[in-house]
Amino acid sequence: MQIHACLLALHTGRPVRMVYSREESFFGHVHRHPARLHYEHGATRDGKLVYVRARIRLDGGAYASSSTAVCTNAASTAAGPYECPHAQIDAYIAYTNNPPCGAMRGFGAVQACFAYEAQMDKLAAALGMDPVELRRRNAMSQGSELPTAQRIEGPAPVAELLDRLERMPLPAPENERGALAMPGGVGNTTRGEGVRRGVGYAVGFKNVGFSDGFDDYSTARIRVSLGAGGEPLVEVHTAASEVGQGGITIQAQIARTELGIENVVLLPADTAVGNAGSTSASRQSWFTGGAVKTTCEAVRTRLLERAATRLGVGWAGSMRLEAGQVVDETGAALLTVADLLAEPVEETREYRPRRTVPLDENGQGDAHLAFAFAAHRAVVDVDVELGLVRVVEVATTQDVGKALNPLSVQGQIEGGIAQGVGLAVMEEIQVRDGIVVNPSFTDYLIPTIADMPDVRAEILELAQPEAPYGLNGVGEPPTIASTAAVLAALRNATGNPLTRVPVRPDDLIA
């Protein structure tokens, strides 16, 4: 839509305002790729994976959009966060007359996780093994290889995530929660006679950042000057879009940390500064945060050089900025930063991490920068007579690298789980002959606060070696595995195979 508005403004020479109605948004904006996935797993009697065969078919709709990248991600993660010595994975994108599909939280990994985690539960049942133990026995760790031959260089704490998740207490039994907490709420006419509880587990992972050889980087401009009252002012300027993930807060935190100046202002996003890439792929804290950090370091060096010149010393290496002052190695104040700002200091820098490479014709290559992992346990109550469901709780353990803002991390986790629950039990775009037949929130349901489960989260902070401050992407893993965990819990409650999402009431009837 922004491109259309821009072209109209260029053509008319006038300001243009463009608004989609809800129905137009359903047709004009991309959605998650529908997928059909066919899997076969083989394992030894003691539960060690031997091979995985997978065929993944994704419906890209009427435009290419980001379908090829979604296909690469689905194929790369298709065997799950498990060590598997042999894999044959075929992934296809179909160009159809359906509405266009593109980037949506999880970006191909959601569809794959739904399939491989369902398979792990079926495999555990066939082996007579606890499903958590089967996952633990095959868990990836640092140094494990993907079927693409890429080695996991950062933390891959799959076994630890499962251990911590399994130790979390379960919620109160369903008969202690009262009628309002039952599936269907006050409309549940059975008052719980047909309610069964189910518990299910899932582990998911996803790449962080743009992959497959894409030139991924971000740019920042930092300006330090005297603000009102003669106090130092830091202006942070990037092109990164804030979409609720907390990126502007992280940028301000980084500037305060690196420059020791409290008064920080974030200027409106502007591509005149330079590229920041899209706010997607769980990358902005890493990439734009890295650009802000790199640029602040350059500004700090210039300020300390000014301080060294003013103090008549030849080297500023023992000095640092702290609370608006230049201090020595003992913390003693030498002069104020304001003393150095007769002229503002401004720097623009790019942050470029390690470059990835495209997968070759055999699907091999170092295609991804890094990976993020999360495990989920879902508890559901299902009325198997009426086909009603309530997701009672989703517990999660997730490695976030370094939580720069723990409150934002918690918010990302809860928001991602909301989307995962929606995909599991209610969100479905229904298409007939290429037309969306439910293009409104009357017919397309999304979770409200009344539908949200309790969320119990435990955060691991295992430093990502290549990232600034050791942080990692947070936003997508909560969605990837939560859908699969809810479906596992529904299968546990009903005994039904449940091979599609979202489930419908008739799927849940015993």
pLDDT of residue 176: 67
The answer to whether the predicted template modeling score (pTM) of the entire model surpasses 0.75 is yes
pLDDT of residue 177: 66
Are the C-beta atoms of residues 135 and 158 closer than 8 Å to each other? yes
Distance CA 135, CA 221 (A): 46
pLDDT of residue 312: 87
Distance CA 69, CA 74 (A): 9
Beta bridge partners of 220: 238, 349
Q: For every residue of 408-461, which 3-state class applies, written as one string?
A: HHHHHHHHHHHHHHHHHHCCCCCEECCEECCCCCCCCCCCCCCCCCEEEEEEEC
pLDDT of residue 327: 93
In the chain, the amino acid numbered 229 is: G
- DSSP assignment letter at 144: -
Residues of the chain with pLDDT under 70: 175-179, 186-190, 316
Q: Which CATH class is domain 218-351?
A: alpha beta
Fold of 31-145+154-211+360-508: Aldehyde Oxidoreductase; domain 4 (3.30.365)
CB atoms within 10 A of CB 218: 27
- pLDDT, one tens digit per residue, over 161-176 is 999 999 999 998 876 6
Please list the residue range(s) of the chain that carry CATH number 3.30.365.10.
31-145+154-211+360-508, 218-351
pLDDT of residue 28: 84
